[in-house]
Amino acid sequence: MVKVGILGAAGYTGGELIRLLLNHPQAEIVFANSESNAGNPINDVHEGLVGETNLHFTAEMPFDKVDVIFLCFGHGKSEQFLKEHKIPENVKIIDLAQDFRIAGNHDFVYGLPETHKSAIQDCQHLANPGCFATCIQLAMLPALKAGIISGDIHVNGITGSTGAGQKPGATTHFSWRNDNISVYKTFTHQHLQEINQTVQELCPGYNGRVLFIPQRGCFARGIFVTAYAKCDKSLEEVQQIYADYYRDAAFTHFVMKSPDMKQVVNTNKAVVYVEKYEDQLLMISCIDNLLKGAVGQAVQNMNLMFGLEEKAGLNLKASAF
DSSP string of 264-281, one letter each residue? TTTSS-EEEEEEEETTEE
Rounded to the nearest integer, the mean pLDDT of the chain is 95
In this predicted structure, what is the pLDDT of residue 167?
A: 65
Give the tens place of pLDDT for each residue, 33-59: 998 899 999 999 999 999 999 999 999
223-249 exposure pattern, b = at least 16 Cβ within 10 A, e = fewer: bbbbbbbebebeeeebbebbeebbeeb
Which sign does the torsion angle of CA 230, 234, 237, 243 carry? positive
What phi and psi, each to the nearest 5 degrees, are found at residue 93?
-125, 130
pLDDT digits (tens, 9 = 90+) for 232-283: 999 999 999 999 999 999 999 999 999 999 999 999 999 999 999 999 999 9
Is 131-289 CATH 3.30.360.10?
Answer: yes
Q: Average pLDDT in the 63-84 region?
A: 95
**What's residue 175's pLDDT?**
76
CATH architecture of 2-129+292-305: 3-Layer(aba) Sandwich (3.40)
Mean pLDDT within 285-302: 97
Q: What is the dihedral of CA 31, 34, 38, 39, to 10 degrees?
A: -40
| pLDDT in the model for residue 165 | 63
pTM: 0.95
Least confident residue range of 80-94, 100-114, 150-164, 303-317: 150-164
pLDDT at 80: 95
Q: Any residues with CB less than 8 A from the CB of 27 and at least 6 apart, and which?
A: 1, 2, 3, 4, 21, 299, 302, 313
Residue boundaries of the structural domains of the chain: 2-129+292-305, 131-289
Which residue numbers are catalytic?
131
pLDDT at 283: 98
Predicted pLDDT at 172? 74
Residue 173 pLDDT:
73
pLDDT for the residue numbered 164: 65
- Which of 181, 121, 177 shows the shortest CA–CA distance to 156? 181
